[in-house]
Amino acid sequence: MAKQQAFLKELDLIAVKIRTHIIEMLYRAKSGHPGGSLSAVEAMVALYFHHMHINPKNPKDPDRDRFILSKGHAAPTLYAILAELGYFHTDELLYLRQINHMLQGHPVCTHIPGVEASTGSLGHGLSFGNGVALAGNLDKKTYRVYVLLGDGETDEGQIWEAAAAASHYKLDNLCALLDRNYLQIDGNTEDVMKLESIRRRWEAFGWNVIEVNGHNIGEIIDALLLASDHKHQPTIIILNTVKGKGVSFMENNIDFHGVAPNEMEYKLAMKELAEQQRALEAAE
C-alpha cells in the first residue's frame, strides 16, 4: 500500500510539472488553449507514465500502443508529456507556435516524434483510432489504441458514426477517453448541444462505459486496467473534469478556453503551481 501511494504521489507531482510546462508554453507563445489542456493532464499522465506500452527511444516501434489526441487544441499537454519522456528535448517547449520550430499549435505527425495523428479539425480522431485498431487486428498485433475526446467535440456527427463502427467491429483494443468538463468554446455543453445522459448515449451505441474522477490518477489507472480486460466491446472512460484544473482563476472559466495568460496571470499561475508542488512533496 505504501509503495502504491508513493507511486501515485510521484504521478501527481508529474502532473504539476506538466501543468507548469503548459502555462510556460502558452505564456511565451501568447496564444493557445489553457482550459482543455489543463483538464486533460491526469488522464494523459496515467496513460503515458503508467499504462501504455511505448518506447521513446523507438517512437515507431510497431508493437507500441497508440495515443490519438482528437481534441488537438490540447497539444501543449501532449508536447509536455512527450518532452518529459524524452521524445525530444524540453527546450523545444519554449518555442510553441513559433515559426521555424517543431511544435505547432495542433499536433502534426510528420515531424514531431511520438505524435501518432495530425489533429485539430475536431471529430476525426475516433475514426482514425478505429482504423488503427482494425489494422492491429488484421495484422495480429496486440497493441492498444487510446483516443482522447473533448465533450464539446462530440457534437460532431462523425464521432457517432465512428462510435457505431467501433461497436459493430467489436474493437476491444480501442479505448476512448472523454474529457467531460462541461465547457466548450461557446459556453456550457448542455446549452450549446445537450449531451446528457452521455453515459446512456454511449451504452446505446454498444460501448462499455466506465465513469471516474478525471483528476484522480488512481481511479483512472484502475479504469484503464478494466478497459484492457474487457472483451468484444470498445470502452469509453468518462473523465469528470474541471476545465482549467490546477489554476484557480482558470477553473470553470470559459474565458480561458483559447486565451493565453498575460504576465500577471502567468506569475499567479506559476505561484499556485509551485505551492501545489511543495504541498505534495511535504505530504506523508
260 in Cβ contact with 37 (< 8 Å): no
What are the φ and ψ backbone dihedral angles of 105, each rounded to 5 degrees? -65, -25
43: cell is 488522464
pLDDT in tens, 3-61: 889 999 999 999 999 999 999 999 999 999 999 999 999 999 999 999 999 999 999 99
Question: How many CB atoms lie under 10 A from the CB of residue 75?
Answer: 27
pLDDT tens-digit series, residues 187-205 = 999 999 999 999 999 999 9
According to DSSP, the residues that pair with 68 across neighbouring strands are 147
Instruction: Look at residues 56, 55, 43, 45 and name the one whose alpha carbon lies nearest to residue 17.
Output: 45
Q: 260 falls in which pLDDT band (50, 70, 90)? A: very high
CATH code: domain of residue 165: 3.40.50.970
Domain range enclosing 100: 2-282
The answer, yes or no, to whether residue 2 has pLDDT greater than 90, is no
pLDDT at 1 exceeding the cut of 80: no
Specify the pLDDT at position 61: 97
Interstrand relation of 183-184 and 187-188 (parallel, antiparallel or unpaired) = antiparallel
In this prediction, residue 284 has a pLDDT band, given cuts at 50, 70 and 90, of confident
- Phi, psi (degrees; rounded to nearest 5) at 145: -120, 130
Number of domains in the chain: 1
Cα–Cα dist 80/279, whole Å: 22
pLDDT, one tens digit per residue, over 122-176 is 999 999 999 999 999 999 999 999 999 999 999 999 999 999 999 999 999 999 9
pLDDT in tens, 262-283: 999 999 999 999 999 999 999 8
Average pLDDT, the chain: 97
Overall average pLDDT of the 55-74 stretch: 97
What's the rounded Cα separation, in Å, for the pair 235 and 51?
Answer: 15
